[in-house]
Amino acid sequence: GAGVSQSPSNKVTEKGKDVELRCDPISGHTALYWYRQSLGQGLEFLIYFQGNSAPDKSGLPSDRFSAERTGGSVSTLTIQRTQQEDSAVYLCASSLVYGQRYGYTFGSGTRLTVV
Amino acid sequence: DAKTTQPNSMESNEEEPVHLPCNHSTISGTDYIHWYRQLPSQGPEYVIHGLTSNVNNRMASLAIAEDRKSSTLILHRATLRDAAVYYCILRDDGFGNEKLTFGTGTRLTIIP
């Protein structure tokens, strides 16, 4: 597609439930990144993928968070047993190739609210 | 990543040029200077990046000091739609260093 697509755009879930957030990167972009942004806060790195592998998972806040990417394309971020502090906007970005010379294209995010 | 320092906020009048400064005194030779902006309720948007030479694109210009310890993002004619938080980020060109680390940025307000 023309841009990075994220779904759903909004998600309200009850505390303790599992949620899955989806990211469709720009076609041909090999690098994919997940960030989150809590209300009024800066962006927090979670994880990135090069192809289907995730060399850096250091930003995942707990073992309730996991992510996968299949076919070098779509990625899913899963949060198990959601807590209220998980409420945030989850942003996905993709980049043409691995490396720092290229800009990242971000999606519009998924706003997750845990009640 | 090397650290950048930006003013917390700036104001500019509509239709006038805006110069957004960024200090990065500890920049290394392989660090690229990236600028992103985040409009309200949207994800960050890539603006421009450069290494040593000044860069121009349809959105903005990037002026890099000769010693590379500072840079300035230039919006040539600000519009209300340019009101956003602007982030200056250094990115090491080496492999294995993928995280884009966002600081607090500069909140730009455009005055009609």
The C-alpha of B26 sits at a distance from chain A's nearest C-alpha, in angstroms, of 18
With an 8 Å Cβ cutoff, the interface of chain A facing chain B consists of: 4, 31, 33, 35, 42-43, 45, 48, 50, 55-56, 59, 91, 93, 98-101, 103-109
Contacts B36 to A, Cβ<8 Å: 104
Contacts A59 to B, Cβ<8 Å: 99
Band of residue A58 on the pLDDT scale cut at 50, 70, 90: confident
B89 CB neighbour count, 10 Å cutoff: 24
**B46, two tokens:** 């890539």
Mean pLDDT of chain A: 91
The answer to whether B99 contacts A59, with C-beta atoms less than 8 Å apart, is yes
Predicted confidence pLDDT, tens digits, chain B (112 residues): 568 999 999 999 999 999 999 999 999 888 889 999 999 888 999 999 999 999 999 999 999 999 999 999 999 999 999 999 999 998 776 555 566 788 889 999 999 9
Least confident of A26-35, A95-104, B17-26, B77-86: A95-104
| Residue that wins the pLDDT comparison between A55 and A62 | A62
Give CA–CA dist A68/A74, Å, rounded.
Answer: 9
Band of residue A42 on the pLDDT scale cut at 50, 70, 90: confident
Contacts B94 to A, Cβ<8 Å: 100
DSSP bridge partners of A113:
A12
pLDDT at position A28: 87
Phi and psi at residue B75, in whole multiples of 5°? -100, 120
For an interface test with A, give the residue of B98, B101, B104 to mutate (most A CBs within 10 A).
B98
Under a CB-based contact definition with an 8 Å cutoff, are residues B38 and B45 in contact? yes
Q: CB contact, 8 Å: B102 with chain A?
A: yes
